Amino acid sequence: MDFTPYARIKGKRMKVDLTQIIDDVFRFQINTIGLKFREASTIFIENKNDLEHSQKILKHTDALLFKFTLAVINLEFLWQISDLKKPLDPVRLNQELYEWNNADSIIDSLFLESTVIQIRSFIDFAQKLSCICLGYTKPIDGTKDFYKILRRMDSDKSREIEDTFMKVDESWGKIVRSIRDKILHYDLIRTNHDLRPSIAGKHYEDFGQGLSNDMFEFLIELCEDLFEVKWIPGTLEQFRSEFNR
């Protein structure tokens, strides 16, 4: 199977090597971040010495990191596309009557929608992992139920977790949920052209980058809230040495 799709630029085709992009993302971003987060979960499990929940914590840690990885890869696709594309001709933009036949922006829309959906899923997975770290393993029926569960626990840790999620839900998490619900249930993201597809006044890749940065900061807070392990900048080896591992 050929994993190198084409995008059209002014009548020509550009080839984007998706496998190379994925390799680059893993080499420069995902491996260090993901392995440090997973190491923190292992430290938490060892300190807690709770065999009943240890495998569930690791399982849902891996699931959360999977969603994080998918979001970052989709964002990198957006950046690669924007780097390869030249500014569009305003006259030509006005000739595109519908979103579905807009050859200049539909590939951007594809990866923007995928980025938003994966980030929203990342938040949902973070809720599940949070509950498991608190010892709650039953299903969660949405965000409202998640907050009810935290408030019933009424511990210092559950309150810290609630504060962290509230900050997310009141800022970038609200934006992600709104766009995700829109594109999944009732409408399209309407392309606003400024010689590049844009949303909320930003080009798609810039908008996605802001969300990705927020997601990374959220991951660091989760590391400290859930696993009670301080996030250490740098390599995995530096992270491990800080905890004598």
Q: Encode 6-26: b = buried (16+ Cβ within 10 Å), e = exposed.
A: ebeeeeeeeebeeeebbeebe
Mean predicted lDDT score pLDDT of the chain: 83
Nearest to 207 by CA among 167, 162, 172, 155: 172
Provide the pLDDT for residue 5.
41
Provide the pLDDT for residue 215.
93
Would you say residue 3 has pLDDT above 60? no
Tokens of 164: 């962290």
Query: Who has greater pLDDT, 240 or 4?
Result: 240
Share of the chain above pLDDT 90, in %: 49
Range of lowest pLDDT (46-55, 91-100, 209-218): 91-100
CB-CB contact of 70 with 118 (8 Å): yes
Three-state SS for 7?
A: strand
Provide the pLDDT for residue 144.
93
The number of angstroms, rounded, from the C-alpha of 21 to the middle of its chain's C-alpha atoms is: 17
Global pTM?
Answer: 0.84
Residue spans of the domains in the chain: they are: 6-242
Provide the pLDDT for residue 4.
41
Provide the pLDDT for residue 40.
97
How does pLDDT run across 149-208, given as a tens digit for each residue? 999 999 999 999 999 999 999 999 999 998 888 877 766 666 655 566 778 778 888 888
> What is the pLDDT confidence band of residue 104, given thresholds at 50, 70 and 90?
low
Query: Who has greater pLDDT, 85 or 244?
Result: 244
> What is the pLDDT confidence band of residue 141, given thresholds at 50, 70 and 90?
very high
